[in-house]
Amino acid sequence: MGWLAGIRKQSATATAAAVAPEPPPPNERHAAPGLVQAFARLEGRPRRILDLGPPLHANLTRYARLAPRLAIGDLTGALEDGLSPIAAIDEAFSGLRLGGPSEPFELVLAWDLPNHLGREALPRLAAILAPRCSQGCHFYALLEAGKTMPALPRRYRIREEELEQECSTGEEIPSPRLMPGELDRVLPGFVVDKSRLLAHGVQEVLMQRTDHAEVPITRQAPLRRELRKTLPRGRQSMPPRRRP
């Protein structure tokens, strides 16, 4: 019966290989011009930063050179722990003391988290963030342009003018394919200021904290032109401008 045991062993090995998790891809580094711009805009401001990713040494070192006040709301860790997007948002902000009328944030780093929170949970994030941010606060995000994305948020390390991205899993899930033009709707209180498609297929977006009613008419037209550029051909129509 040795042949039968050999067949069973081969079958078990094949089954284990079939269910083995896909190894994560190697780390990659890419230019991040929008992040460089966001840091430059902090010049002359109070420089209070909120990082929604984990507390990584490379980033903490960079912030120490730039901002005297820093808060970490680890949404990445909350999602890795298996919390739902809404529960992860509440968990990340539960112990956060910085941010508010007396010490509002000037920059929020959301990384690729909007992709994993999705359209349904992003309004919850905006509702918590908006009162904690100054008018003009910048919100930095990376939108997945492809059909799939890692099952868990990436970790981003700031390397001067580049970002090093690390995936903790090789498993992929469908991407929500958020468009920059959608963000005004799903993140009320913030409007898209700059958007660019990077070489590795990720849309880098820099938003700005402002109420829709407070956006000057002279600024609304350029904003709408910028959003049109991000839409694919055949989807160039924009929703009508809101009237006060």
User: Is the pLDDT assigned to residue 205 strictly greater than 90?
Assistant: yes
**In this structure, are residues 200 and 28 in contact, taking their beta carbons and an 8 Å threshold?**
yes
Query: Which residue from 59, 49, 47 is spatially nearest to 96, judged by alpha carbons?
Result: 49
User: Is the pLDDT assigned to residue 69 strictly greater than 50?
Assistant: yes
- φ/ψ region of 177 (left if φ > 0, alpha if ψ in -120 to 50, else beta) reads left
Fold of 25-230: Rossmann fold (3.40.50)
* pLDDT value for 126: 97
DSSP letters spanning 182-199: GHHHHSTTEEEEEEEE-T
Query: Which residue from 62, 9, 57, 49 is spatially nearest to 166, judged by alpha carbons?
Result: 57
The pTM score is: 0.79
Q: What is the pLDDT of residues 147-175, one digit of tens each?
A: 999 999 999 999 999 999 999 898 999 99
57 Cβ contact partners less than 8 Å away, ≥ 6 residues apart: none
Backbone torsions φ then ψ of 144, nearest 5 degrees: -75, 120
Please enumerate, as own/partner, the contacts of 81-87 that have beta carbons within 8 Å and a separation of 24 or more: 84/121, 85/116, 85/117, 85/118, 85/120, 85/121, 85/124, 86/121, 86/124
* Banded pLDDT at 2 (limits 50, 70, 90): low
Residue 162 tokens read as 């580049």
Kindly report the number of other CB atoms within 10 A of residue 198's CB atom.
16
